[in-house]
């Protein structure tokens, strides 16, 4: 019953904030600043998310996400698409799910054009490997229809903070990749790293680690959705977009502290803030997306600029008037941005492949 007080506190805050958001929405029609204002749905949804981040304990956030509030599908349909991977990887600290069309008869890596290792977001402290299942299915269907591509997604269940601080989550990601390459004999040229928010951070730092250590070839591509690339909150977009985006800054710092834990690293360390990494050459091609309302927009833009300066092929799609994680949470998307991201990722991965 220890959830009652946090829930009541959250409800009390929302009872105050939602009327203010409604008022701000209608007021925006009279005081235009040249920028497309958030929709009423965006305002209310982001307020709910930020209030939950601030008020609810981590264990309760994990429970809410595990119930599938964002992307679960009926059990019978899930059986067609999802297969739990063998738990023989527990000594490496990771588990995962294979998502593929008619997964019961699919073998991981067999006859695939690309297998994507995906790390979910959640500030390193919560999240669920099947939380974006509907989105993953949309990707697989769209890319098969548009390019005749056979895509599999390995959605990673990595260890979470504060129980497991840095570098555990990154090492889980690397262990998963090593398993695909060494045990499943899948060529790195058919593997992409991907993730949203904190998961995007894990995808980047894992790829940088592979390049720096040179013990295994890096993957073919990185797909970064609203990636968290810095532990600092000093950019202009963090100030300008704080009221629009769905990230509470107090919560952001709590998550960062939990992730760093007892590693004694500073937020400026490139392993925590890869936007500060000076040596980016050797990374595979990178596709990233962000909404113009994102607090992380400036960090993402700077990272892409640094990749290009290091002769890494990189693309950035910025969707006007969209917020953090719009590309995986359709409820947060507007003006077709969710569907646009699927098309752009497909072209980035399979642009040279023609569906005959």
Q: Are 43 and 21 in contact (CB under 8 A)?
A: yes
Whether 354 has a pLDDT exceeding 60, the answer reads no
Q: By C-alpha distance, which of 285, 258, 214, 241 is closest to 122?
A: 258
Q: Does residue 132 fall inside a structural domain?
A: yes
Domain assignment present for residue 356? The answer is: no
Q: Is residue 355 part of a domain?
A: no
Choose one of 12, 44, 67: the last residue of a domain.
Answer: 67
Given phi > 0 = left and psi -120 to 50 = alpha, else beta, which region is 38?
beta
- Percent of the chain having pLDDT more than 90? 79
Catalytic annotation, residues: 197
Mean of pLDDT values over 219-243: 96
Instruction: State the SS3 of the chain.
Output: CCCHHHHHHHHHHHHHHHHHHHHHHHHCCCCCCCCCCCCHHHHHHHHHHHHHHHHCCHHHHHHHHHCCCCCCCCHHHHHHHEEECCHHHHHHCCEEEEECCCHHHCCCCCCCCEEEEEECCCCCCCCCCCCCHHHHHHHHHHHHHHHCCCEEEEEEECCCCCCCCCCHHHHHHHHHHHHHHHHCCCCHHHEEEEEECHHHHHHHHHHHHHHHHCCCCCCCEEEEECCCCCCCCCCHHHHHCCCCCCCCHHHHHHHHHHHHHHHCCCCCCCCCCHHHCCCCCCCCEEEEEEECCCCCHHHHHHHHHHHHHCCCCEEEEEECCCCCCCCCCHHHCCCCHHHHHHHHHHHHHHCCCCCC
| Of 141, 133, 137, 197, the residue nearest 326 (C-alpha) | 197
pLDDT tens-digit readout, 43-94: 999 999 999 999 999 999 998 887 765 556 777 788 899 999 875 555 567 8
pLDDT tens-digit map of 90-130 = 556 789 999 999 988 788 888 999 999 999 999 999 999 99
**pLDDT given for residue 352 in this prediction:** 65
20 plus 132 within the same structural domain: no
Q: What does pLDDT average to over the chain?
A: 92
- Structural domain boundaries, residue 92: 74-350
* 111 and 240 together in one domain: yes
pTM reported for the whole predicted model: 0.95
Give pLDDT, residue 71.
57
Claim to verify: residue 161 and residue 284 sit in the same structural domain: yes
How many structural domains are present in the chain? 2
Tell me, yes or no, whether 114 and 42 share the same domain.
Answer: no
pLDDT band at 261 (very low <50, low <70, confident <90, very high): very high
Residues 159, 305, single domain; the answer is yes
CB neighbour list of residue 175: distance below 8 Å, 6 or more residues apart: 89, 92, 93, 94
> Residue 89: what pLDDT?
57
Quick one: pLDDT at residue 104? 83
On whether both 27 and 149 belong to a single domain, the answer is no
The answer on 42 and 82 residing in a single domain is: no
Q: Angle at CA 319, nearest 5°, toward 316 and 321? A: 145
* Cis omega (within 30 of 0) for bond into 236: no
Clarify whether residues 55 and 88 are in a common domain. Answer: no
Cα 181 to its chain centre, rounded Å, is 23
Q: Domain check: are 199 and 269 in the same one?
A: yes
Residues 124 and 226 occupy one common structural domain: yes
Same domain? For 109 and 185 the reply is yes
**Is residue 356 over pLDDT 50?**
no
């Amino acid at each position: 019953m220890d959830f009652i007080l946090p829930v009541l506190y959250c409800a009390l805050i929302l009872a105050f904030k939602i009327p203010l958001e409604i008022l701000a929405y209608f007021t925006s029609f009279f005081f235009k600043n040249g920028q497309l204002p958030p929709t009423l749905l965006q305002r209310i949804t982001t307020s709910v998310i930020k209030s939950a981040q601030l008020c609810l304990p981590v264990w309760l956030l994990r429970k809410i996400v595990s119930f599938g509030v964002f992307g679960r599908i009926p059990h019978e349909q899930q059986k067609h698409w999802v297969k739990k991977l063998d738990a023989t990887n527990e000594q490496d600290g990771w588990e995962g799910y294979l998502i593929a069309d008619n997964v019961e008869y699919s073998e991981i890596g067999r006859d695939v054009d690309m297998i994507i290792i995906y790390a979910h977001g959640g500030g390193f402290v919560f999240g669920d490997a099947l939380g974006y299942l509907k989105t993953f299915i949309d990707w697989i269907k769209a890319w098969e229809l548009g390019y005749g591509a056979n895509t599999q997604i390995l959605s990673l269940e990595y260890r979470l903070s504060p129980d497991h601080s840095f570098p555990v989550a990154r090492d889980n990601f690397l262990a998963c990749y090593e398993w695909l390459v060494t045990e499943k004999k899948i060529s790195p040229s058919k593997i992409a790293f991907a993730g949203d928010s904190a998961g995007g951070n894990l995808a980047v730092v894992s790829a940088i680690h592979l390049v720096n250590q040179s013990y295994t070839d890096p993957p073919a591509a990185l797909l970064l959705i609203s990636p968290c690339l810095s532990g600092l909150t000093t950019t202009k977009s963090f100030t300008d977009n704080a009221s629009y985006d769905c990230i509470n800054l107090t919560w952001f710092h709590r998550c960062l502290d939990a992730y760093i834990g007892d590693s004694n690293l500073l937020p400026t360390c490139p392993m925590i803030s890869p936007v500060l990494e000076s040596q980016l050459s050797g990374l595979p091609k990178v596709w990233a997306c962000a909404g113009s309302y994102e607090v992380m927009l400036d960090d993402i833009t700077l990272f892409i600029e640094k990749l290009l300066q290091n002769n890494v092929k990189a693309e950035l799609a910025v969707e006007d008037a969209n917020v953090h994680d719009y590309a995986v949470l359709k409820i947060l998307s507007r003006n077709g941005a969710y569907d646009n991201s699927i098309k752009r990722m497909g072209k980035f991965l399979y642009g040279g492949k023609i569906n005959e």
